Amino acid sequence: MSFKLNHASYIIILTTIISVFYAVLRYNIMGDVPWKDLPVFVLNKGIALSALILLIFNFSLSPLKNMGINIPDQWLKSRKIIGITGFVFAFIHLFMSISILNPNYYAVFFVDNGTLSLRGGLSLFGGIISFVLLWVYNISFKPVLKHKKKIKTIVTSRSFFVYGMLFTGVHLFFMGYTGWATFYKWQGNLPPISLISFVIFALGYLINLLGRRQI
């Protein structure tokens, strides 16, 4: 048990450090975002990237194995704690995003009268539905639902993953698609985290589409 926890912790810590460091490097060190925005605005972006990587990692191991790719047993045994951590990070990301959801931080999400733009609404809709589906998936493994086999079968099915993951794609796409091709506007000349996240999502989605078996 100790070995499993240590292996999972290594993956979680490494992923978190790299993700947060990239956010700080892009926005604070190389970019022009003031250091006062590090505790929430910048850290939130690093946590969001960490959450996505951990969840995609967790959900893609079995499909990769089904595709004939050799997956280390230590990775497979670490899925539970990695998935739980990814869920917790996603919750933190949701809470932090809501706390600073205003035109000062997310100008493209609002129109002149202070209401949400279509782009902002679609991104938030995708993010909220993604989190709800993730929450449903998480509680389906709780003891209180251990006898509800039909519910567990649905939320662990290929269709649930394939269609549910699309909402994450919607969230990421509308979050930053307008800035992906404007290289001259990139903070610190580094790729946007939304672009990196979308690429990781697309790869994970393709893996699940091709390798996840119907239960």
Three-state SS for 191?
coil
| Cα separations in angstroms, 79 against 27, 49, 71 | 31, 18, 12
In one-letter notation, the amino acid at residue 202 is: A
CATH for 2-211 is 1.20.120
Among 175, 51, 166, which residue's Cα sits nearest to residue 123?
175
* Domain coordinates in residue numbering, the chain: 2-211
pLDDT of residue 110: 96
pLDDT of residue 2: 43
pLDDT of residue 145: 61
pLDDT digits (tens, 9 = 90+) for 96-149: 999 999 999 999 999 999 999 999 999 999 999 999 999 988 887 776 665 667
In one-letter notation, the amino acid at residue 69 is: I
In the chain, % helix, strand, coil (3-state, to 5) comes to 80, 0, 20
The residues that bridge with 110 in the sheet, in sequence order, are 116
pLDDT of residue 148: 67
Q: Supply the mean pLDDT for the chain.
A: 91
The pTM of this model reads: 0.92
